[in-house]
Amino acid sequence: MYYAGEAHSNGITEHPHDDKPRLYLCTVCDRRFQTNEILTYHKARHTGEKLHSCTQCEKRFITLCSLKTHMNVHSSQYKCTECGKCCQGNQALTRHRRIHSGEKPFECTVCSKRFTTSSELVLHSRIHSGEKPYKCHLCDKVFSVFSSLNTHMRLHTGDKPYKCSLCDKSFSRSHHLQIHSQHVHSNRRPHDCRYCGKLFKTSAELKLHVRIHTGAKPYSCRHCSDSFRQLGQLKSHLLKSHNEGTWFTCHICQKKFSLNGNLKQHVRRHEGVKPYVCNECPKSFYTSSALRSHSLRHSDIKHFCCGPCGKYFKHKANVKRHFKSCPERLGFSGI
């Protein structure tokens, strides 16, 4: 039985001094812990404060225990014999070895999909059950993953802990900083399509592009036979065709969007905000894609390749025009 006393501003639930077991309540996510010390460590996950730093690689950690576990990476105590990667512990090494063996011992009882770890299976099972155990205490939005709640809280606090070292932009997610650095500050495109030779900055972009050639549509609708190349396309389909999901409405003109990202781009046009600024000239743009297209004017790098003959072009339109008359393209699948 859970006992919840009065929640104070410090996020700790106080309890009377008696012999009954009591739990300490986090007022941010409503999770309960057996000791005040564990609760204190848990609260640090919400604030993002990392007090313990590694002396060898400068990584920082919320708890001292996490730092001690991390130090195993530098000691090479748990090292993979296949690729030489050092893991934090024996369990982590066991999980890592499944990458090489292809072993997926955990199977979903609903759809038979298999996973390499039990935690992946638990998260996946919430797709079928609809369980979302983590709730925001400010807007009542619920999440199936604790890390999603943690990231969501930054929308309320305005916290953007990930700052670009080359400009003044900050981000609430490390992934967004990584994308920003690759798209805005780097012209390197190390990933090339084996079908048409087009170059990409990230493996994720390449993976998405390859589906155009292979016809793969991994996202299937559970209500009908339709399937899609992108998750966003599936979400839009569920909302428009099956009334499943949430419309995002512009507060200025009431126009509705199936994706929040599309709404944000739309609102910028009302407000005249152009956050994407060219490093070479004073021009600015509403979207990152418009900035990337503009940046080609200042660059001599030719990103687009004709697959059959290997000739490179500065603009996508040029390679498409060339492809129609390319003498080497007979029998080639096309762009």
Last residue of a domain, one of 242, 258, 277: 242
Residue listed under structure tokens 């039990």 = 118
Last residue of a domain, one of 204, 224, 242: 242
**pLDDT number for residue 266:** 92
**pLDDT number for residue 298:** 75
**pLDDT number for residue 320:** 74
Please count the structural domains in the chain: 2
CATH classification of the domain holding 310: 3.30.160
Query: Is residue 169 domain-resident?
Result: no
If one counts every other C-beta atom within 10 angstroms of the C-beta of residue 322, the result is 16
**Mean pLDDT calculated for residue range 16-44:** 71
Cα separation, 66 vs 79, in Å, equals: 18
pLDDT category of residue 252 using cuts at 50, 70 and 90: very high
Q: What are phi and psi of 61, to 5 degrees?
A: -135, 155
Closest to 327 in 3D by CA, of 312, 302, 310: 310
Residue listed under structure tokens 């994706």 = 259
**Mean pLDDT calculated for residue range 175-185:** 75
Query: Is residue 309 domain-resident?
Result: yes
CATH classification of the domain holding 234: 3.30.160.60
SS3 184: helix
**pLDDT number for residue 187:** 65
- Which DSSP string corresponds to 49-100? ---EE-TTT--EESSHHHHHHHTHHHHTSSB-TTT--B-SSHHHHHHHHHHH
CA 25 to chain centre: 29
Percent above pLDDT 70 for the chain: 85
Query: Is residue 308 domain-resident?
Result: yes
Query: Is residue 212 domain-resident?
Result: yes
Query: Is residue 156 domain-resident?
Result: no
Query: Is residue 214 domain-resident?
Result: yes
Percent above pLDDT 90 for the chain: 8
**pLDDT tens for each residue of 66-121:** 888 888 888 878 888 888 888 888 888 888 888 888 888 989 998 888 988 888 88
Query: Is residue 143 domain-resident?
Result: no
**pLDDT tens for each residue of 214-229:** 889 999 999 999 999 9
**Which 8-state DSSP code applies to residue 305?**
E
Report the mean per-residue pLDDT for the chain: 79
Query: What's the pTM value of the predicted model, to 2 decimals?
Result: 0.41
Query: Is residue 41 domain-resident?
Result: no
**Mean pLDDT calculated for residue range 157-180:** 80
**Mean pLDDT calculated for residue range 305-330:** 72
What is the residue range of 296's domain? 289-335
Q: What would the 3-class secondary structure string for 111-137 be?
A: CCCEECCHHHHHHHHHHHHCCCCEECC
